[in-house]
Amino acid sequence: MFDATENDPISPAMRALLEVFSTELSEVKFPDVDAEVLEEAASRVRAQAEAVAKAQAALEAARQALGESQEALLQKGQRALSYARVFAEEDEALSTKLEAISLPKAARKGARPEGAVAAEAAQNEESAPRRRGRPPKSRPSAPLFADGSSPEALAAATEPAEVPVAARPAAA
C-alpha cells in the first residue's frame, strides 16, 4: 500500500540496510538478526503505518460528522431561541433569561476547511476589504452656476407662466 520512496514509513537508511541484507548478506545470520528478521520487522512497521493512516481517515470522517451534527444543532437552537423570544414577549423574567443567551451565527452552507479560512483571513488582513454597492455618482467639476446666473434668476426662468383663467380647462 505504501510507495517505496514517498510514503514508506521506513527511513531511506533503513531501506538501504534491508537491501544489503536481502542481497549481499542474505546467507549471513547474526545472533537474533538476519534478513528474514529484519524484513518481518519492516512488514510490521508498514502494517502499523497503514493502520495509523486508516485510523486518521476514520478520525477525519468522525470529525466531519461531528461538525455537521453541531451545525445542525446550532441551526435548530437558533430557531428555538427565536420562537422562545416571541413566546416570552409578555413574560419579563423568561424574556430576560432568553436575551442573555447568545448563540453564534451558523456557518454558511459552503463552509471551507479550517486551513482555507485561516489563509483567507491572512489575505484579508493584507488587503483592504472591497466596498460593496454601487460606486458614488461623479460630481461635476464646474461650479453649478458657471454661466454667472444666480439661483434666483434660474428659479424665475423655470417657473411656469400664469395661465389666464379663460384659457384654463373647465372644471368637471
pLDDT per residue over 1-44, tens digit each?
A: 444 456 889 999 999 999 999 999 988 889 999 999 999 999 99
Cell numbers found for residue 112:
471551507
CA distance 108 to 114: 13
H or E element, residue 96? helix 92-99
What is the number of alpha carbons within 13 Å of residue 109 lying toward its C-beta?
A: 0
pTM for the predicted model, two decimal places: 0.48
User: Regarding predicted confidence, which is higher, 21 or 145?
Assistant: 21
**What is the C-alpha R_g of the chain?**
40
Question: Would you state the pLDDT for residue 132?
Answer: 78
Task: Read off the pLDDT of residues 56-96 as tens digits, 9 standing for 90 and up.
Answer: 999 999 999 999 999 999 999 999 999 999 999 999 999 99
CA distance 86 to 97: 13
Task: Read off the pLDDT of residues 90-129 as tens digits, 9 standing for 90 and up.
Answer: 999 999 999 999 999 877 665 555 555 555 555 555 566 6
